[in-house]
Structure 1
C-alpha cells in the first residue's frame, strides 16, 4: 500500500537521514518528500512511502516516534502516484471540456492533497451539486461554507472549504483519515480552484 506520513522533526543536519533510515529499517520505501514548513528549529514534512503492509499505519507511526526528536502527526493511506502531475492532468481535462469543469475538479481534487472525498455545494441553498465517488450521501452542508477559503475540523473529519463565487459554489474537500489539513494544502487547492474558475469564465466569454 501507499501511505502518506506527516512527520515533525528537528531542523538540523542529519535529522532527515535518521527518519529515512528508520523508514528503511521498517521496510518502507520513500517515494516522495514534501516540505510543509520550517520554523522555530523544527521542520514538518509529508513522506509518501510504499509500505509492504507488515504493520498497520498506527504501528508504523508508533515505531517512527521512537526516533529522538521526531513526532509523527499522522499516517494514512493515499492514492497518490509520486512523479505524476494530477493537478496538470486536471487542468488539461478542464480545458478539453469546460462544461464539466467543476465535476472534474470535485472528482480529482482529493488526490491532490491525500484526501478521501470532495463535494461541490450550492452557496445559496447548501445543497450538494456533485460529489466524488467516495463522498457520503449528504443532502446539504450549510455549515461547511465559510465566506473565505478555510481549513477546519468537525471532530475527526478534516475539511477544506473554498468559495467559487463566479459559479455560486463552494468546493469542500474532506480527509477522514490522517491529520488536519495544513496551510500549504489549503493554498494548493485554492490555486487550483482559482485556475479552474478562470478557465471556465474565459471559455464562457469565448
Structure 2
C-alpha cells in the first residue's frame, strides 16, 4: 500500500534522518520526500512510502511523535507514483486535444495534490460542468459535499474544510469556472499544493482558449 505522510519537525540537522529511521523500524520503504516549507525554524515534509499490508495510522502517529518536536499532520493513501511527472503528462494530453482541455484537467488533476476527486463548476450557473469518475454522486448527496457554492467560488485560490472533506478551490483564469479538488483523508491542502495546481491550471486555461 502506498501512503503519504505529512510530518512537521524542527528544521535542524538530523531531524529528517530521525523520521526516516522511525519509518524504517515500522517497515516502511521511503520512496520520495517532498519539501513543502522551511519557515520559522520548522520544516514540513511529505513522505511517500510503500507499506506492507494496511498500516495503522495511529501507530504511525504515536511512533513518530515520540521524536522530540515531531508532529504528524496527516497519513492518507496516495495514487501519485514517485519519480513520475503527472503535471507534464496532463499538459501533454491537454495540448493534444485542446477542445477537451478542462475535462482532461479534471480527470487527471487529483494526482497532483493527492486528492481523491475533482470537479469544474460554473460560478454563473451554480452547477457542475465536469467531474472526475471518483467524485460522489451529487444528485444523491443534494449538493457539493454540503458547501454553499458561493463559498467555493471566491475570486482567489483558497482552501477550506467541510465536515470530513478538505477542499481546494481555484478560479479558472479568463472563465466563469472554478476547479474544486477534495480529499476525505489527510490534512488540509498545503499552499505548496495549491500553488502547483494553480500553475498547471493557468497553462491549461491558455491552451483551452
TM-score by length of structure 2 reads 0.92
Task: Give CA-to-partner distance per residue, 1:42-68, whole Å, 9 cap, x none.
Answer: 100011000112532232222221222
1:145 Cα deviation from its structure 2 partner:
1.4
Q: Does the 8 Å CA contact 2:173/2:202 hold for their aligned counterparts?
A: no
**Corresponding residue number in structure 1 for 2:69:** 69
1:165 Cα deviation from its structure 2 partner:
4.1
Residues 1:167 and 2:175 aligned together: yes
1:40 Cα deviation from its structure 2 partner:
1.6
Q: Does the 8 Å CA contact 2:171/2:179 hold for their aligned counterparts?
A: yes
**Corresponding residue number in structure 1 for 2:10:** 10
1:104 Cα deviation from its structure 2 partner:
0.7
Q: Which runs of 4+ in 1 moved over 3 A?
A: none
Residues 1:147 and 2:176 aligned together: no
Task: Give CA-to-partner distance per residue, 1:119-153, whole Å, 9 cap, x none.
Answer: 00011111111111111112554132112111111
Residues 1:198 and 2:206 aligned together: yes
Secondary structure at 1:90 match in 2? helix
- Supply the distance in 2 between the matched residues of 1:113 and 1:61 (Cα, whole angstroms): 21
Secondary structure at 1:93 match in 2? helix
- Supply the distance in 1 between the matched residues of 2:21 and 2:2 (Cα, whole angstroms): 18
TM-score by length of structure 1 reads 0.93
Q: Structure 1 stretch 151-160 or stretch 85-94: which is displaced more?
A: 151-160
- Supply the distance in 2 between the matched residues of 1:19 and 1:86 (Cα, whole angstroms): 27
Q: Does the 8 Å CA contact 1:36/1:46 hold for their aligned counterparts?
A: yes
**Corresponding residue number in structure 1 for 2:22:** 22
Q: Does the 8 Å CA contact 2:117/2:134 hold for their aligned counterparts?
A: yes
**Corresponding residue number in structure 1 for 2:184:** 176
Matches within 5 A, 1:105-116: 105-116=105-116
Q: How many residues align?
A: 201
Q: Structure 1 stretch 163-172 or stretch 65-74: which is displaced more?
A: 163-172
